[in-house]
Structure 1
Amino acid sequence: MKILVFLLVLANLLFYAFSTGLIDTGGSSESNRVGLQLHPERIRIVASGEPPAPAAPQAAPVEPVSAEVATTEVAAEVVAPVCLRWVSLAKVEAERVGRVVGGGFADFTMTQKTVAGEGSGWWVHMPPLANRAAADKKAQELKTLGVSEYFIVQDGPSRNAISLGIFSSEKGAQEHLAKLQALGVRSARVGARPDKEGNLQVELRGPAERRAMLQAALLEALPKNPPKDCE
């Protein structure tokens, strides 16, 4: 019985030595070792003693620009219109400016207002009427309302206007206007009294791309009195 057990153990040991290549049996042990090896060509080195690099952040998706936003950006690039001004122009000079604008710059607007003279004070008045006949008719209406203190301006830029009183302060002029309105006078107003020369403040506004052409034309009309940019 002991002999049988010994033979079984010996057989197991021989089988183990044969299967693991401890016993050389020619090419068979070498092929077994190759079969047990890893495939080196399939091994890829990721890093050499360094942590792996972080993944690159993904770019945020680009939102399409709406038509409304694009229109707003284009509108912001539009150049503001040009504005030129004379603080004080004689009536004859203002007429020259008017001829320049009417002669080739219809896309410009011209505005003018009376310049108050230094120390001239304030006046209550009705703006200039179309002609003397219209001014006389308005004067008759004033008489009907009980207004007796007035006069019709004979010349200057305020020709055919009706003056209803001259005052040293705006407050006094406003108080007189209130009395006239209580009598039924509706078209009277308060303003700075014009200077004796009848000078005018003139402004021109129009497209910026025509600025150079307009200034060249104005230089010919008023060589000694060029306009300045509006403030």
Structure 2
Amino acid sequence: MAPLRVFVIILLFANLLALSLWKGWLGGELHHGEPERLSNQLNPDGIRLVGEEPRAPVRRAPVPAQAPAVEGKVEEAPAQEAVAPQACVIFSGLSGDQTRELSARIAKAGSGFKLTEARGEAPSSWWVHIPSQGSKDAADKKAAELRKLGITDLFIMQEAGPTQFAISLGLYKSELAASRQLDALKEKGVRSAQVLARGGGVSRLEVRGPSDSLATVVSDLSERLRGVNRLECTP
């Protein structure tokens, strides 16, 4: 009976050991079958690749809110009016009265004009004459010689001064007309006649303004400014 008892005790301990291993009482881990192995394989959170760092969650910048579109008509900028180009005209050889009249008329025409006045020493006339003969008798003798040459339009200056007893042969507004008279006298044999510029204090008026308005003003003044030089200038 003793060997049988020993065999039963050994068998009992073997069953207890198998039960302990199967229950995991001894620290081991037993897999109870195919369903448990499949559940472990389908657990994605438990999967890790060797050497891979965990990735931080990607943050996306917030999309700025757009202002709602305002429906309505788009206002168009008003069209700019065409501006007339600037022009410039110079009136030269003006007397004092002509300068004042021209300035007053242009000022009355509007505020878009700019006037620039310059008073020069340009001669106002050219005098064709024979210089002083020194005495009245000498002047009378010279005048008689001129009349014999067919020159009757002459005058002996009587007023005291450097031109006393000079013989005047004509006073002209332009140097060109005086030069022509001098050439005509030379053709008749007069060799002592001369041309002398006289006067001064004439004005030069420069007018700037819109081309269309300035053209109208100049046209209106054309009859009143006969004999006055008119030139175009750079605006």
Shorter-chain TM range is 0.3 to 0.5
- Normalized against structure 1, the TM-score is what? 0.32
- TM-score, normalisation: structure 2: 0.32
Point out the structure with max Rg over C-alpha: 2
